[in-house]
Amino acid sequence: MPEFIDAHGVAIVYDVHPSRTEARGVVQLLHGVGEHAGRYSALIDALTADGFTVYADDHRGHGRTGIRQHGGPEKLGRLGAGGHRATVDALWRFTQIIRDENPGLPLVLLGHSWGSFLAQKLVNAHPTAYDALVLSGSALPWPGSLNSGPLNKPWDGPDATGVEWLSSDPRVGADFLDDPLTTSTPMLRLFGPWNTLQVLSRPRRGLARDVPTLLLVGSEDTVGGPRSVHRLADAYRHRSGFSDVTTQVYPGIRHEVFNDLTQADVRADLSAWLDARFPVRV
């Protein structure tokens, strides 16, 4: 497992999945809160088959990074010294590593859920570093556009597991709960009030680059849902000046569009969108 050391001395563990054909681009994959990069194997397989090399880290406090950082699973999800800002800084360092190792190839930033909020901060700060932006299970992370209540409320009941909000496929929730590298503890309890507030942001005005952007959301997503994602799309168009913003809403699908019952369709839509912007090399 390759790793790099962040500014606070935390070893960030990551994987590199080489393209199975001549590489036409690179994807930096950012996972969500309480999980890890290993939950994206089907998506990574599809991307590498489609000509993209994928770099995927376990963020500070999460997955393999968190196990090493905290000396065990008891504090999984807790960010540690430097908090949320250090997490963003570490991901920017990761971007620089990826760029150095893949000169000349376009870089796609793909973030899910909390990873999508981290991606938004990276694009705000370093818009010229990325050639495309893909956000799934996202929202406009701003008061009034982000659900601050229990995410599982629509499915609460005597037999609820608490993670039905993730996917309409019950196996996804069961696997999440059985995974030793995940935690279902809510963000506010994991991060604390201050670091949770650091998640908030809006697309910056007049960014120096027009970044093609794809937003993928399930109609039953309780994090923000389609209304919030449409607000995010409008902000990228009118605040940041992006001219190529696509929003795809999947009916009946919940938060993890890459792990729900229509995941093959979602991967196909992503592939078609990437093909149109980064053609296969002949």
Instruction: For the chain, list the domains and their CATH numbers.
Output: 3-277 (3.40.50.1820)
pLDDT of residue 1: 84
pLDDT of residue 207: 94
Mean pLDDT over the full length of the chain: 97
Sequence length of the chain is: 282
Res 281 pLDDT > 70: no
DSSP string, the chain: --EEE-TTS-EEEEEEE--SSS--EEEEEE--TT--GGGGHHHHHHHHHTTEEEEEE--TTSHHHHHHHHTSGGGTT---TTHHHHHHHHHHHHHHHHHHHSTTS-EEEEEETHHHHHHHHHHHH-GGG-SEEEEES----STTTS--S-TTGGG-STT--S-TTT-SSHHHHHHHHH-TT-----HHHHHHHHHHHTT---PPTT-SS---EEEEEETT-SSSHHHHHHHHHHHHHHTS--S-EEEEEETT--S-GGGSTTHHHHHHHHHHHHHHHSPPP-
C-alpha angle with apex 113: 243 to 46, nearest 5 degrees? 75
Query: Residue 95's closest CA among 62, 121, 122?
Result: 122
Res 282 pLDDT > 60: no
Model pLDDT for residues 8-59, shown as the tens digit of each residue = 999 999 999 999 999 999 999 999 999 999 999 999 999 999 999 999 999 9
How far is 40 from 207, CA to CA, in rounded Å?
Answer: 30
Model pLDDT for residues 154-176, shown as the tens digit of each residue = 999 999 999 999 999 999 999 99
How far is 280 from 50, CA to CA, in rounded Å?
Answer: 8
How far is 61 from 81, CA to CA, in rounded Å?
Answer: 10
Catalytic residue, chosen from 136, 221, 228, 240, is 221
Q: Give the mean pLDDT of 225-248.
A: 98
Encoded tokens for 254? 């919940």
Residue 148 annotated to the active site: no
Catalytic residue, chosen from 6, 59, 112, 113, is 113
Instruction: Judge whether 216 and 269 are in contact, CB under 8 Å.
Output: yes
Of the pLDDT bands very low, low, confident and very high (cuts 50, 70, 90), residue 280 is confident
Residue 239: how many other CB atoms lie within 10 Å: 14
Query: Residue 57's closest CA among 48, 49, 66?
Result: 66
Give the predicted TM-score (pTM) of the model.
0.97
Spell out a b/e string for 46-78, using b for 16 or more CB atoms within 10 Å of the CB, else e: bbbebbbbbbbbbbbbbbbbbbbbeeeeebbbb
How far is 140 from 145, CA to CA, in rounded Å?
Answer: 6
Residue 255 annotated to the active site: yes
Instruction: Judge whether 53 and 98 are in contact, CB under 8 Å.
Output: no
How far is 192 from 83, CA to CA, in rounded Å?
Answer: 10
Residue 113 annotated to the active site: yes
Res 237 pLDDT > 80: yes
Encoded tokens for 33? 């809160």
Cα separation values, 177 from 60, 100, 161, 191, Å: 20, 37, 9, 20
Of the pLDDT bands very low, low, confident and very high (cuts 50, 70, 90), residue 148 is confident
Instruction: Judge whether 244 and 213 are in contact, CB under 8 Å.
Output: yes
Q: Give the mean pLDDT of 89-101.
A: 98
